[in-house]
Each structure stands twice: as C-alpha cells, then as structure tokens.
Structure 1
Amino acid sequence: MVSGSARSPQLMRQLNSSALMRFALRAHAFTAATAMEETGLTRATVIGLCSDLVDAGWLEKVADSREAGLTRMGRPAHRYRLREDAGTIAALDAGEHSFTAIVADLRGSVLARHSLTLDSAVAGRQSRVDTARDMLSRTLEKAGRAPGDLVLTVVGIPAPVDGDGRSPSGGSGFWPLMNAGFDAGLSGRVVVENDANLAALAEQAQQTTPSDNTATLLTGERFGTGLIVDGRLLHGSRGGAGETRFLDTIFDDGYASDGIGALARRWARAAVTESDQPSVLRDIDTEHIEATDVFYAAAAGDALAHGIISDLGSRLARVSVVLSSLLDVERIVVAGAIARALDPVVERARHVLTTEFPPPVPELAISALGGDVVVRGGIELALQRIREQPSDFLPRRPASAPHPHAG
C-alpha cells in the first residue's frame, strides 16, 4: 500500500491510483499480480483501480493470460496495458535560429518530427510563438494525432528559466526575446525550460548507469550548461545555474559566450584574412566559411584548420576545468547539433586536461543525440511530470467510449 498520511478514503484512492499509473506508464501488458508486486497494493485495490482506469481511458484490457498463451491451467488472469492513444506529448526546441518539434506517445516513442529555421532577432517575440504553434500543429498532423490529444508540451529555450517558467530581464534583451510567452501562447499545458537543462535530462536518460554528477555542455552558437549534481538537476533561484557568464572572467577576447561552432567560424574567417598560411579554406568565400568547413579541412590535414581545432580544444579544456572545480562534476558531455563533428576538438581537450592540469580532471564525452538532444530532453521531462503526478493529467478518451459522467 502507498505510504503516507491520507486524510480520507478518497485521497488514499487517488494516491493508490497514481502509484498504479506510474507502474502502467513504464510497464507493458500486466496482470493484477504483477501490479501488486510492483506497487504493494492489495489485489482488491488493484482490480478496482484497473477497472476505474479502463473507464477513465488510461488503460485497456488485452488478451488474458490463457489467450496470450501464458497459462494453461486454472482461472485465466485479466491483463491490462496503457492505452497507446491515451495521450500525446510534445517537445519543442525553440532556438535562436532554428526550431525543432517532436511528438511522442506516453512511453516516449517518437511519432513525428519537424524542423525549420527562424531568425528570431528579425522575427520578434510574437513570431516565435506563432511559429511554435504552427509547428506543433503540423507535427501532430504528421503523427496522425489531433490537438486535443496533447497532454503536455515542453519548450526548451536558450535562456535561464525559473520554477514559474519566467526568465530574468538581463541578457541585453536576449532572454526576454527567447522566452517569448510560449506558456500563454500555446494551447494546453505547457512547461518552459532552459535548453541545456533539457539536454542534461536527455543525456542522463541515455546512460545505463547515470552519473550523479554530470555537466552537459550544450554548444553551437553559444555555451550553455545543464548541471546534475548529487543526482539532481540544478536550477538556482532565477534559473541561472549553468549559465556561462563566468567565462567573461576567464577569456578576455570578447567572445566568452560563443560556442564552439561560432568560434570555429569566427576564428577561421579571421585567420584566412589576417594570415598568409596556405589553406583549403581560402577556396571558400570568407563570409561563407562555416564551422563544418573547418572540421572537414582539419580532418583532411589542413594546417591552418588544425591550429583552430587545437585552440578550440584548449578552450574546451579550460571550461571543463572550471566546471569540474566549482561543482565537482566527474563527467562532462559535449552536446548539440555539431557534437558529432567534435571528435578532434574533444581529443585535444582531453590531452590538455591530462598534461596541463593536476588530477582529478573530468571525463569528456560526446553526445550521440545530435541536434535532437533538447527535444529528447523535453520528452523526458514531460514523461517525468506525468509519472510523478498522473492524476493531474486527463487521458484522451477512445472515440467510441462515452464520458463516465454522461447521462
């Protein structure tokens, strides 16, 4: 039975129902006996709750144990499972220059995905919200789901976010632009969260043995860090835990907040302009040199590009040392759309860590989630919220099923 001091039978039933739903959300087909073993509830309670949850639209009956070939003798056991179409969750990575949305079922299986580019500085706050609304509608349509199926939407933004979904007024107007009012502008229940925090949740969910002390360094145009310390995601009073403004005190080149992608592009354009060193990068119009061009050139043995990679690795090592020293994290995961191209940068950073800094130094790893790391973290957060308090959410009822309160 669920522990705690329930003040009424109704509250106790709600607590027990939540416990059973948490089990059903992670289980496949199950019997009352299995549910009893997992939740500690009595047989009568489980059978009664399963009946209620079938009526409510959360569960459905499936083939009993004999029909499923699981038993031959005795009375067959009823089996239940979560209704696959009980609800849909969505995650949106609302970046500065691009949006990505995915829609998933209540087990986290992705049903559809949609991406587009958007210059937020030109488009403005309202256009960000309008774009998000349109993207979610299109992605739901691709998934074969209706807007009414949506149980919860999580939006990741490149700005600090407090527990109420608000961002500070700082960031030279950038943070308010990024936190454009998605919670009020999108239909249904919406959670707004920092993108690097969502990346950290995604990385933790990927690990078979998650580390209790990990920093996920989301990089591309900017640096952002999601911090899991002592097994908990850090937020801070204004949601600013993991913001990298401290880098201004370490690097005085005016580009402290630039991510690896932005730095690779900036340094390469400057190098081909200011030096006469031979390089295949000179075959590209200077203003069109991108980070990927630098990585490809370095892999082909280009000396100028290799020097940029070396500088990027040294910078990454110093950022890693600061994070490790401040928070005693043992593992730092480099994540983002360009993460899969960063092997030479990370290798250089590992070398600098082991040769220029005393131990202990953090382990460096590269995310395998690519550009979907934020939306995958958004789905993970949505699943966590539903599992924690399933009674706060209403399932989508089957089209053929009458409402339990219908006359």
Structure 2
Amino acid sequence: MSVISGSPQQLRRANLGAVLDVAWGAGPFTATDAIGATGLTRTTVLGLCDDLVGLGWLRELGPERLPGDRAKGRPARRYAFDPRAGHVVGVDAGQHRVTASVADLAGAVLARETRVLGAGGEDRAARVGGVRGAVDDALHGAGTHAGSVLVTVVGVPAPTDVLGRPPASEDGFWARMNPDLVAALARPGQHVVVDNDANLAAIAEGAVGAGVGARSFVTLLSGERFGAGLMVDGVLLRGRHGGAGEMHVLDLVDGVGSASGLAATVRQWLAEDAGLARLRRRLPAEPEFADVAAAALAGDRDAQGVVDRLGDRLARVCAVLGGLLDVERVIVGGAVATSVGPVLERTTASLAAYMHLPVPEVVASALGADGVHLGAVRRALALVREDPLALTLPAVPASDGAEPEPSRADAVARADRRAAGAAATAPA
C-alpha cells in the first residue's frame, strides 16, 4: 500500500489540482462527479470546491435536482469551471506585421488585432512598440485589461532557447526579430514565453489543423523565409539552441540555394528575371505570390512556368525534410497557404523523383496566416494547465456600494489555514 506524504498544505494543493483538473472542460459537475474522478470524500470535495470558488477558478451554479433524486432533501450543489477567470495572449510577431489574440481559459479567441510594421520591422523600438500595441488593442477588443492575463506566448521568426533568447547569428537577424521580448513584455504576475513561430504553428496544426491524426509531420512556414516546426513521433523537436527546423541548410541544396520562402522567391524572380518581363506587365504594380498563382490558374503560360519552378523547388525542400525525418505529412503554412494549391500539384508530381523513402503527403494549411498566433494561444493554455495554482487570478472587483471582495491571496491563505487546522485536530 503506498502512502502519500507531505505537509497539509502540499496535500491540499494536490487535491485542489485534482478537482480543478476534473472541472477543466467538463461542463457543470457535482461533488459526486468529482468524488468519482478523484476518490476523495464528499466533505473534502465540497471544501475544495468552495476554495476553488474563492480562488476564482470555479463558479457555483444554482442547485438542480438530478434525475432519481427524492422529492425532499437538498438538491445537489453544482459547479463549473470559469473560463473568464483569466485570459491568455498569443502573438505572431512576424518580420513585417504583428497579430495578437486574446483567449479565455477554454481557448475561445475573444479578440484579434494586427499591426503592420512594414520596413520598421527590424528596428527594436518599432518592433517592441508594435507588439505591445497589438496586444493592447486585442485586450481592449476583448473587453479586458493586462491584469487579467496569466500567460503571454510570442512567436518570432528566429530560434529560441528555453529562456526565450535567440542564439547569435552573423547578420544579427535573429536578435532583431527577438529584441529581448520576454523582458519587454514582462508584467507583475504574468508569465511571458517567446518561442519560434514555426514551432507554434506546428502546435496549432497538431491540435486543430492538418496535423490532426498524424504523429509525424512538418509545418513549413513558407512566406518570406522557410522555417519548419518538426513534430516527430508526437514530440516537437527543438534542439540544443532551439534551432531544430532552421532551414539555412537549404543554402547547400541544389535547385534551392537559400531559405527564401515562396513569397520572397516570387518577388525576386519577377524583379531579376528578364524572361518574366511580359508577366510583370500583366500583374499589379507590386505583385505578390497570390497574384502569380491566380494568373497561373487563369491559364497564363508565363505564370504557369513560375508555378512549375516553385513546385520543383518546394519538392526539393520537402525531400530534404521527408528524407531526414520520415514524416507522414508536410503542411505548407503561412499567408501563402490560401493560394499555394497550384504549386503543391507540381510539388506532389515531382517529389518521388527526389526521395527513396515513401513520399510524405504535401498539403496546404487551412489555418494559413493564423497558425502562429493560434499555436501561441494553445501553448499559453498548456502552460496554465501545467500548474494553475501557481498563478494568481485577477481580483474580483466589488460592485458599487458593496464590500470589496477578498483577494485571491486571502483565499489561498484561508485554504492553507483550513488544511493546517484539519491536520491539527485529526486523531493520531
């Protein structure tokens, strides 16, 4: 028979966590439901539920007589997890634009705002200001404030270590993309994480996107630069410095030559290839990837030639990833995903010629440009669930003319005193 040891406070905390885990996402529940899931006694469960109500994690609902209850007697007390007890923020801090989302603790996105950085995307002050501004705008749109945020996760186009710092690079690009955003966004009582954008996109794809059902897949962000989030056997690969999935190795790959993504490559070819002069005249003044893809679908032969070249180049990239990792699927993400279909047709047709292993399926992400900030929200929620009782929920404001609500810290102290008192009066 195993014996659980620890102080009364530690045991109480563990039991609070067990009941809260039952409540999270379960809908309305009764003490009987929690007893069945935890094995704790009714008296203990009711006390824990009262504490979790005081801490702000649960709401007590109106009593309801359940089927089979006797007509007389007290109806069952009911509780529910309160998803608006706090909020999380997910940010996609791309090279040229920032998108911030605010979500409740059930993962429902309440507001989303974007700020364009443009040419100032590599300036530290402009970048930090853009991230802060997008977050503030999203909080305002959600009808809340910074004090309600428990965890903020920011995705950047750079590798990051466990402390959210970029490794050194010769051109300093990674540091410009991540100018110590952990410190810049730090607020009292709030946890800030900075992570690689492709890693966060892979988290989103695995949860709600094209990676659902696949244990090994690559999410390939493909706009300005290629960057890959690598999910292998259900594990997100990060590497010693957070550099797993960095694609500068493509400099060495014949027929690819750089880590430039599809959008950047199209702009470069249109600007430098004299053979595309006719196509340039038929496109908008500042053509983008989507313009070329649309022209190819409309039957423009020059645009179809560009699409063929892009498809072959992408096939070589997918062959490198598929050959190294033996994945089931390569998910092409980022803003180009909505118009990448013609390119993927050529990629799929070419891929077998470059691989010995069975070829991975190559698909477009349905999340598109939303993948990174949605993945950031997912990771923020996971961090809250890892140790929710280590976080302090925002205080409940008092209604007009009423006594102030007790602070969350007071509620924690009451729970600890109750646990200590119970231990002191328990029979030896």
TM-score, scaled relative to structure 2? 0.87
Counterpart of 2:98 in 1: which secondary structure? strand
Q: Provide the aligned C-alpha RMSD in A.
A: 2.3
Q: Say which is worse superposed, 374-383 or 204-213, in terms of deviation.
A: 204-213
Measured against aligned partners, the alpha-carbon deviations of 1:189-214 in whole angstroms (never above 9, x if no partner) come to 21100000000000011159532211
Q: Say which is worse superposed, 13-22 or 381-390, in terms of deviation.
A: 13-22
What is aligned with 1:202?
A: 204
What is aligned with 1:266?
A: 268
- Aligned residue type for 2:406: P
Matches within 5 A, 1:228-239: 228-239=231-242
Q: Which runs of 5+ in 1 are unaligned?
A: none
Matches within 5 A, 1:43-62: 43-62=42-61
Counterpart of 2:64 in 1: which secondary structure? coil
Q: Say which is worse superposed, 27-36 or 220-229, in terms of deviation.
A: 27-36
2:229·2:245 contact (CA, 8 Å) conserved in 1?
Answer: yes
Q: 1:402 aligns with which of 397, 400, 406?
A: 406
2:219·2:228 contact (CA, 8 Å) conserved in 1?
Answer: yes
1:36·1:46 contact (CA, 8 Å) conserved in 2?
Answer: yes
2:256·2:317 contact (CA, 8 Å) conserved in 1?
Answer: no
Q: Between the two proteins, what is the percent identity of the paired residues?
A: 43
Measured against aligned partners, the alpha-carbon deviations of 1:284-326 in whole angstroms (never above 9, x if no partner) come to 466x222111011101011111111111111111111211121
Measured against aligned partners, the alpha-carbon deviations of 1:322-355 in whole angstroms (never above 9, x if no partner) come to 1112112111111111201111111211111245
- Aligned residue type for 1:246: V
1:225 matches 2:232: no
* Whole-angstrom CA distance in 1 between matches of 2:161 and 2:396: 36
* Whole-angstrom CA distance in 1 between matches of 2:292 and 2:5: 62
1:56·1:397 contact (CA, 8 Å) conserved in 2?
Answer: no
What is aligned with 1:215?
A: 218
TM-score, scaled relative to structure 1? 0.91
Measured against aligned partners, the alpha-carbon deviations of 1:22-55 in whole angstroms (never above 9, x if no partner) come to 3322222112222233444443332221111101
Counterpart of 1:376 in 2: which secondary structure? helix
Matches within 5 A, 1:161-310: 161-170=160-169, 172-186=171-185, 187=187, 188-206=190-208, 209-251=212-254, 254=257, 256-271=258-273, 273-274=274-275, 279=279, 281-284=280-283, 288-310=286-308
The alpha-carbon deviation at position 98 of structure 1 amounts to 0.5
Q: Between Structure 1 and Structure 2, whose CA radius of gyration is higher? A: 2
The alpha-carbon deviation at position 143 of structure 1 amounts to 0.8
What is aligned with 1:10?
A: 9
* Whole-angstrom CA distance in 2 between matches of 1:251 and 1:317: 12
Measured against aligned partners, the alpha-carbon deviations of 1:101-124 in whole angstroms (never above 9, x if no partner) come to 110100110111110210365661
2:256·2:313 contact (CA, 8 Å) conserved in 1?
Answer: no
Matches within 5 A, 1:13-162: 13-66=12-65, 73=70, 75-119=74-118, 121=120, 124-162=123-161
- Check 1:358–1:326 CA distance in 2 against 1; reply closer, same or farther (3 A cut): closer
Q: Which runs of 5+ in 2 are unaligned?
A: 399-404, 415-428
What is aligned with 1:351?
A: 349
- Check 1:47–1:394 CA distance in 2 against 1; reply closer, same or farther (3 A cut): same
- Aligned residue type for 1:50: C
1:100·1:113 contact (CA, 8 Å) conserved in 2?
Answer: yes
What is aligned with 1:378?
A: 376
- Check 1:356–1:403 CA distance in 2 against 1; reply closer, same or farther (3 A cut): closer
* Whole-angstrom CA distance in 2 between matches of 1:199 and 1:71: 48
* Whole-angstrom CA distance in 1 between matches of 2:76 and 2:32: 9
Q: 1:330 aligns with which of 309, 328, 331?
A: 328
